[in-house]
Amino acid sequence: MVRLGQLASIAAITIAFIFSLSFKDIVSAWETMIFVVVTMILVPATMRWHWWRFSALAFVWGMIGSASVIILQKIFFPTWSNQLWLSFDIFASLLISLIMGFIFKPTEMETLIKFYVKVRPFGFWKPVRREAEKRQLIPVNDSMPYFDIFNGIITIFFQISLAFNPIFPFSSAMAQYDQNYCHLHHFNSLTLFYLV
């Protein structure tokens, strides 16, 4: 299994390298990276935390489906604006993730109950919560998930600040450069070096 993981990592790096050759500039690389993180990873990961039916298989196939949408959109609709592109990709990823959640059977109830008792996430966990209450593993009408909603709101602002902290200096530096190839090429090299 370890060997298979290593081979998959090598394959992913090779594919990513080949794909990276298609970028015209660093801006298109950043845009693609943001769209991949937001749509291909964030939407299925959010579903995994907040919906009891969303199993590991649904997560993996949700990511694969979202990646397919991103690739097809890049091939067939490359002229879409970033706002339209991101909105479409998020909606498509959400739809694909919902479909995958219903196609694949959920994780075993015992595993879900153990997770719920430890974490007590908010969201769509009613069948699991009821079973945990029935077994007296958590108090009836537990208020812990409601604290998570409040923490989630705080986390949104924290995550946004984490995302913009490294991007802001680069965008500020980019504004200082002329649009000629020499300066942009130098900036791209430095940025790619920083990312690696």
Q: Is this structure's pTM higher than 0.95?
A: no
Q: How confident is the model at residue 172 (pLDDT cuts 50, 70, 90)?
A: low
Enumerate the H helices of 36-122 as residue ranges: 43-50, 56-76, 82-103, 109-119
Give per-residue pLDDT as tens, 32-46.
777 777 777 888 888
Give per-residue pLDDT as tens, 139-166.
887 777 677 677 777 877 777 777 666 6
Using only C-alpha atoms, the chain has a radius of gyration, in whole angstroms, of 21
Distance between CA atoms of residues 70 and 44, nearest Å: 14
- pLDDT, position 193: 40
- pLDDT, position 3: 85
The string over 112-128, giving b where at least 16 C-beta atoms fall within 10 Å of a residue's C-beta and e elsewhere, is bbebbeeebbbbebeeb
Distance between CA atoms of residues 132 and 127, nearest Å: 9
Q: Which amino acid is at 189?
A: S
